[in-house]
Homo-oligomer: A and B are copies of this chain.
């Protein structure tokens, strides 16, 4: 048996491993996750693509990496120990899952590689899925600009003389933050995950909703390229008929989701709204059952790493970005929505373990929502709680605050010093098939049943004094032609807007 390097595949033409849809299960995906772990390729796209009935193309992206791994083994003449395990896993997968081997299948065990001539991905988009998120610098030299944009965004952070103090703080922190990005591999993976999620989501939607197909995703980041404005430009250029603005923050906060929505309002301030596009908004989805399910599955993956006799007493510590108390008192719904996701996840998880919700990443001198994650990690061993799992519950991708703050600062440094026996960190939803199913269900239900714009979105915080917020809500009523929709349930004619 020998390895042969696979040819370089374009995104549109990759080797495929095909299984009948009824065999596409989470267990199957677990096998692929283990493969990735075995290859030390953390961050590799471990996704499951639905291509066309009656077959599903699964986790095609691995093939290239697996072949590279095989080639390295040949080159080094010292096959790694886990080579055997890798092969066993692939064989297990093929044997147990009754994979229907297509003529285009690449089978590792007998080293046949082949290309799939997948359908070209270029398609005319009919429905745009605009995925809003903050984004992160993909390269270290983008960090300065990224921080500058955050520090001058008054929706995100309020500073005195912000136009001068913001850039000053951004500049002062750049080097330190660059160092952190270097430590997690040189950049943020948010783009990579969002793009993959978008691709998989649109494929799922093409199957679920053939009437509105083809669906195409557009990434709209707040602080790095591709910017929200660029997403809107591209979408208009593509001539879509419908646009679903889909916040990638499951829980709404004025500082995050709100800022992204305000950016869209800003963009159209000096432009005419393209009323040939039917716009609608998904502003929050904190308790979607499949979202809770994917968090539960991510936790289960880590619970399995604990010895059986302590597994049921491991503390499940949910952690989310904290919020200034000023925002909490103003009425920002974020803490409540995060707590709701936690409760839904614990219900889906259905284990006897204790859990807590704590808050991370506070910045500045003002009071924020507590208890803080690092303080809780420090405090619990003194109370006899020495085994825990950290679960990032308010962000759907790996990013600097999972890969650096949680994995390096807390799990390595803080936990070690505090006397924690074992600490694990649950992966973000990333490309877990249950998460793709969650996104697809959120969007499909929204497109089928509406509303185009939720009243929860339109209702401002009781103590909001932001004129910017007021104008933004008014803009979205116009954009979605929903001025009276939710109140009177009368459909407004476009000409009356």
The reply on A271 being an interface residue by CB < 8 A is: no
**Once bound together, how far apart are the Cα atoms of A333 and B458, in whole Å?**
29
Is A336 on the interface with B (CB-CB < 8 A)? yes
CB contacts (< 8 Å) of A370 on chain B: these are 328-329
In the complex, A310 has a CB within 8 A of chain B: yes
Asked if A206 is an interface residue, CB under 8 A from chain B, the answer is no
- Which residue of chain B has its CB nearest to the CB of A458? B354
Enumerate chain B residues within 8 angstroms of A331, measured Cβ to Cβ: 356, 358, 371, 376
CB < 8 Å neighbour of A344 from B325, B343, B383, B487: B343
CB-based contact A487/B371 at 8 Å = no
Q: Is B375 within 8 A of A286, CB to CB? A: no
Shortest CB-to-CB span from A389 to chain B, Å, is 14
Question: Which of B309, B358, B383, B458 has a CB less than 8 Å from the CB of A488?
Answer: B309
- The reply to whether the CB of A352 lies closer than 8 angstroms to some CB of chain B is yes
CB of A456 within 8 Å of the partner chain: yes
Establish whether residues A462 and B340, one from each chain, have CB atoms under 8 Å apart when the complex forms.
Answer: no
* A 451-462 binary contact with B (CB < 8 Å = 1; else 0): 100111011111
- Is the pair B352, A486 in contact by a Cβ cutoff of 8 Å? yes
A108 within 8 A of B: no
Q: How far is the CB of A488 from chain B (nearest CB, A)?
A: 6
Closest CB-CB distance, A392 to chain B, in whole Å? 16
Compute how far the CA of A340 lies from the CA of B315 in the bound complex, rounded to whole angstroms: 19
B487:A310 contact, CB within 8 angstroms: yes
For A462, the chain B residues whose CB sits under 8 A away are 356, 358, 371, 375-376, 379-380, 383
Check A455–B340 contact: CB distance below 8 A.
no
**A353 CB-CB contact with B under 8 Å:** yes
Q: Is A294 an interface residue (CB 8 A)?
A: no
- Least CB separation from A485: chain B residue: B352
State the CA gap A489–B312 with chains docked (Å): 9
Bound Cα distance from A454 to B347, whole angstroms: 14
* The residue from B287, B335, B375, B379 contacting A335, defined by CB atoms under 8 A apart: B335
B313-A352 in contact (CB<8A)? no
Q: If the complex has contacts A375-B463, A459-B315, are A356 and B333 also in contact, measured as CB distance less than 8 A?
A: yes
- A486's partner among B287, B313, B344 (CB-CB below 8 A) is B313
A339 within 8 A of B: yes
Q: How far is the CA of A456 from the CA of B354 in the complex (A)?
A: 4
Residue from B310, B329, B339, B486 within 8 A of A340 (CB atoms): B339
Q: CB < 8 Å: which of B313, B328, B358, B459 contacts A455?
A: B313
Q: Are B343 and A286 in contact (CB under 8 A)?
A: yes
Cβ-neighbour of A312 out of B344, B458, B487 (below 8 A): B487
Residues of B within 8 Å of A286, CB to CB, are 343
Establish whether residues B354 and A455, one from each chain, have CB atoms under 8 Å apart when the complex forms.
Answer: yes
Q: Give the contacts of A331-389 with B (CB-CB under 8 A).
A: 331, 333, 335-337, 339-340, 342-344, 347, 352-358, 369-371, 375-376, 379-380, 383, 385
Please tell me if A330 contacts chain B, counting CB pairs below 8 Å: yes
Tell me if A352 and B455 are in contact (CB < 8 A).
Answer: yes
Name which residue of chain B comes closest to A328, CB basis. B370
Closest-CB distance, A446 to chain B (whole angstroms): 13
CB-based contact B454/A371 at 8 Å: no
* Contact present for A357 and B343 (CB under 8 Å): no
A427 → B minimal CB distance (Å): 23
List residues of chain B with CB within 8 A of the CB of A380: 462
A-B contact pairs, 26 of them (CB 8 A): A287-B344, A287-B347, A310-B487, A312-B489, A313-B487, A325-B325, A329-B371, A331-B356, A333-B356, A335-B335, A336-B342, A337-B339, A337-B343, A339-B343, A343-B343, A343-B344, A352-B486, A353-B455, A354-B454, A354-B456, A355-B456, A356-B459, A356-B462, A379-B462, A383-B462, A385-B459
Having A312-B487, A339-B340, one finds 13 other A-B pairs with CB under 8 Å, namely A309-B488, A312-B486, A329-B371, A333-B356, A336-B339, A336-B342, A336-B357, A340-B342, A340-B344, A352-B451, A353-B455, A371-B461, A375-B462
